[in-house]
Amino acid sequence: MENSKNNQSLKTIFVTGGVVSSLGKGICASIISGLLSARGFTTKLKKIDPYLNVDPGTLSPLEHGEVFVTEDGMEADLDLGHYERLGNSKTSKNDYITAGSIYQKILTKERKGLYEGKTVQVVPHFTTELKKAIFKGTEGYDFLICEIGGTVGDIENIAILETIRQIKAQENNVISAHVALMPYLSKAGEWKTKPIQHSIRDLLSYGIQTDILLCRMENENKENWKEKLSLLSNIKKENIFKALDAKSIYHAMLAYEEESICERVLQIFNLEKREKDLTFLTNYVNTIEKDLPKIDIAIVGKYVQCKDAYKSVEEALYHAAIANNIHANLHIINAEELKEEDLKNMHGIFIPGGFGKRAIDGKIKAIAYAKNNNIPLLGMCLGMQLSIIEALKSIFPEADSTEFTPNTPDPVVFKLSEWKKEDKTITLGENLGGTMRLGSYKSTLVENTLTKSLYNSEFLIERHRHRYVFNNKYKDFLEKVGLTISAYTSDNLVEAVERKDCDFFITGQFHAEFNSTIKKPNSLFLGFLKAIKNRL
């Protein structure tokens, strides 16, 4: 059997979920990574999702929440955002795997005849391909923490669990952590360990013995639940941890630290204890606890039914608020039903990215409101396109994006491929996936702009996910309608604009929200929150 792990000193933790979905496995995995990283270990976090989509690029944010974009241009599950923010692990194309992407590889090989007439099967072909993907790019790391999407017991998960069983049997230094819900029956006044027992037994039926158990509980459980679970589930008591609901994911991280989970992980792998530096975390949590001025920010979006659709935006706004010593209350407002009153008491307005025509009018209305009432506004991606359309409508009443009105007489925003056709000299970089501009690109900041002073650099480097761009034919009209270009891509595309007649009005063709952590909040978000604070 092919050995897929090249890095023999790599310690691997597979994280599965049990009893119910939405337990925050990704957060648990990220916290363990973050705590290891605070002790100087290098960690790589990965996720394997059991669904058959090749990647989530085509999924609506209403399905699984926001689509996160890695620096190298992969459209991935939002958990990868937690990996970067909490886990301190930069993600890449190698770090998000779907069952669909593995099947795609296998079927491509099969069509090319590379299996030399053999029957192509889940074992060994799927499992071998998945093993390669799991260990790809882990060279040089101390730890690999790999999260398995879904819940143990799902039909879709079986082939993935079989792969993990094989890895545990074949490789050294591989353990399994199970995150499962312990429900409380208020009528009976009891915590119930039975669903967890079943979940662990389920995992065992696939040949995987749980090594570490994290019990998700709503409140503190005073009963002898650890003894009971240890006895009935073959797990040492000291390997069972409580994972309580917390005020924030950063509070949860501190709570895990108090449980000494990291020390236990090190013991299991026979590693020495190390000094840790968690001051960044304690400072952040202490500031959250302070009584600080409160401000309200409207996120004028459209994927309002899913609470995770704007995850990175919310995180970036919180990071910047705490760094400015203020508390931000975020209000996700459905642009389709937007009324002016909704914005009346807002200290700031945020226009997030989005796809398709629905809810465009409401977002344009919010942009006009911010402009006319001098309310600080930050807009990302679609937010920039709409801020330009809103402004140019004063000269070209039918100004629009060809995304919404393909035959508009004034396509002020049009497809990237149209721009490519007009200027044959440009190259769009290797990250161009199909017609989409994806991943990190460096752009040049323009002198004497607020955008430049916020980045305090010659360049900005942010992540992208878009198919449409500003049409440079209309460039000369921007100044006339009050917009100043504040950044250009290397291909001379407009990357950011700002209004000098407002306290803060910046919109960019990128997604700055993907580059924000509590250690290093994003410069644009910091500036936005600072401007809001200065007006209090």
Of 60 and 221, which has the nearer Cβ to ligand GLN?
60
Closest separation between CB of residue 415 and ligand GLN, Å? 8
- Residue 381 found at the interface with ligand GLN (CB under 6 A): yes
Whether residue 156 contacts residue 122, with contact meaning beta carbons closer than 8 Å, is answered with: no
What is the C-alpha separation between 530 and 471, in angstroms, rounded? 32
- Residue 371 found at the interface with ligand GLN (CB under 6 A): no
- Residue 354 found at the interface with ligand GLN (CB under 6 A): yes
Closest separation between CB of residue 380 and ligand GLN, Å? 7
Kindly compute the dihedral angle of the four CA atoms of residues 103, 104, 110, 112, in this order, to the nearest 10 degrees: -170
**Distance of CA 116 to CAs 111, 113, 122, 130, Å?**
11, 6, 16, 20
- Residue 355 found at the interface with ligand GLN (CB under 6 A): yes
| Structural element, H or E, at residue 297 | strand 294-301
Tell me, residue by residue from 278 to 317, as one string, x for binding to ligand GLN by CB under 6 A and - for no binding.
Answer: ----------------------------------------
Whether residue 368 contacts residue 359, with contact meaning beta carbons closer than 8 Å, is answered with: no
Tokens, residue 219: 């409140």
- Residue 498 found at the interface with ligand GLN (CB under 6 A): no
Whether residue 17 contacts residue 150, with contact meaning beta carbons closer than 8 Å, is answered with: yes
Of 115 and 355, which has the nearer Cβ to ligand GLN?
355
Closest separation between CB of residue 313 and ligand GLN, Å? 11
Closest separation between CB of residue 382 and ligand GLN, Å? 3
Of 402 and 492, which has the nearer Cβ to ligand GLN?
402
- Residue 439 found at the interface with ligand GLN (CB under 6 A): no
Closest separation between CB of residue 352 and ligand GLN, Å? 7
- Residue 410 found at the interface with ligand GLN (CB under 6 A): no
**Distance of CA 255 to CAs 37, 147, 176, 261, Å?**
16, 21, 21, 10
What is the C-alpha separation between 451 and 487, in angstroms, rounded? 8
Query: Which residues are tagged catalytic?
Result: 381, 511, 513
Question: Number of C-alpha atoms within 13 angstroms, CB side, residue 164?
Answer: 29
Closest separation between CB of residue 384 and ligand GLN, Å? 9
Of 206 and 355, which has the nearer Cβ to ligand GLN?
355
How do strand 410-415 and strand 468-470 relate by DSSP bridges? antiparallel
Question: CA nearest 327: which of 302, 381, 352, 291?
Answer: 291
Of 123 and 461, which has the nearer Cβ to ligand GLN?
461
What is the C-alpha separation between 275 and 207, in angstroms, rounded? 36
Classify 401 as helix, strand or coil: strand
Q: Show contacts of 287-291: CB within 8 Å, 24+ apart.
A: 287/322, 287/325, 288/247, 288/248, 288/250, 288/251, 288/322, 288/327, 290/325
Closest separation between CB of residue 463 and ligand GLN, Å? 10
- Residue 353 found at the interface with ligand GLN (CB under 6 A): yes
Whether residue 161 contacts residue 126, with contact meaning beta carbons closer than 8 Å, is answered with: no
Closest separation between CB of residue 378 and ligand GLN, Å? 13
- Rounded to 5 degrees, φ, ψ at 86 are -95, -40
Tally of CB atoms within 10 A around 194: 12
Whether residue 216 contacts residue 180, with contact meaning beta carbons closer than 8 Å, is answered with: yes
Of 87 and 411, which has the nearer Cβ to ligand GLN?
411
Closest separation between CB of residue 302 and ligand GLN, Å? 11
Of 338 and 381, which has the nearer Cβ to ligand GLN?
381
Tell me, residue by residue from 390 to 409, as one string, x for binding to ligand GLN by CB under 6 A and - for no binding.
Answer: -------------x------
Of 49 and 75, which has the nearer Cβ to ligand GLN?
75
Identify residues 320-349 at the interface with ligand GLN (CB under 6 A).
Answer: none
What is the C-alpha separation between 375 and 352, in angstroms, rounded? 16
Amino acid at 474: Y
Of 386 and 478, which has the nearer Cβ to ligand GLN?
386
- Residue 65 found at the interface with ligand GLN (CB under 6 A): no
Identify residues 449-468 at the interface with ligand GLN (CB under 6 A).
Answer: 465-468
- Point out which residues bind ligand GLN (CB under 6 A): 353-355, 381-382, 403, 465-468
